[in-house]
Amino acid sequence: MDNPNPKPIKRIGVLTSGGDAPGMNAAVRAVVRTALKQGIECVGIRRGWSGLINTDFMRLDNSSVSHIMNKGGTILYTARCMEFMTREGREKAIATCKMLGLDGIVAIGGDGTFRGALALTRQIAESGYYLPVVGIPATIDNDIGCSNYTIGFDTAANTAIECIDKLRDTMQSHERCSVVEVMGRHAGFLALYVGISVGATAVLIPEREVDFEQDVVEKIRRARLGGTTHFMVVVAEGAGSAVEIGKQIHEAIGIDPRVTVLGHIQRGGAPTGRDRETASRMGYEAVQALLSGKGNRIIGTKAGALTDMDMEEALAMEKKLEMYRYEVLEALTPGI
């Protein structure tokens, strides 16, 4: 949805919503600094869409975003807001937008963030008011269909890899099996990437139905016959409970696995260079999109280059896991 009546953009809002992802601060910084250089004021909306309902905001200037790109989390805080899913909640949000005199919003988050943006702009359009929203994909799951890459994935993957490498040291010393659960309720991008990177014996992902005997037990048996004395099983949370997988391994083979659930440690920590640089470019492009009169767009990556796509079209896209990566894992598993 492009602006039917283009007018100078004087003030924009920026928010972070949904689960936090390393690199969100770098994106906020890029939006603010790019906008200020164009003479545009910036308002930070705190706690995601909830901030528009509850008038929770702050003025952002150059000093506000100094020294934040190396920090995990988000200085604007983030939240999931059930009230925003209702027309009444969005009416409150629209009233805040009008009160602040916003000419556009940059929303940083995942699928839920963008669906909220789409519902808001549609409701705004009914009243004849125009407020463009540009989305920046930031989620450690890397599951946004219109973008090859989402902010936070690289940092989360490296955090998991570092933790698993340390676990492997003790597993190898004691000749044990370790079952590690990583994030990924609906997508196995993180689990499979990490599994290949740490040389896992087995990886369980939501996209592939689990055959416990073949996918776990037999792989451990063959690895043991091949001379391996320690085993690493990586489980995406959406593929099953690591605790239950550990119990099943014990019942089937008799070994006593050590279970580790990495949990929210994957969301924290200083973002990697890739996440900082990608977030900075996406933040810059989001402001450029608003300046060019574009609305309801999502900034994404394709073949290494940044693109912007219609939000409605983008949300209809499904991102499928490249199963050849699973074939790579199978080929590199010992004893198979």
Tokens of 240: 């099953």
Tokens of 327: 């074939």
Q: What CA–CA distance (Å, rounded) separates 64 from 2?
A: 30
Q: Which residue has the tokens 């973002």?
A: 271
Q: What CA–CA distance (Å, rounded) separates 122 from 137?
A: 20
111 as an active site residue: the answer is: no
Q: Is 238 helix (H, G, I), strand (E, B) or coil?
A: helix
What letter does residue 151 receive in the DSSP assignment? B
Q: How much of the chain is in helix, strand and coil states, percent to nearest 5?
A: 45, 15, 35
From 20, 111, 141, 154, the catalytic residue? 141
Q: What CA–CA distance (Å, rounded) separates 215 from 239?
A: 12
H helix runs in 101-217, sequence order: 111-126, 153-174, 189-198, 212
Catalytic positions are: 141
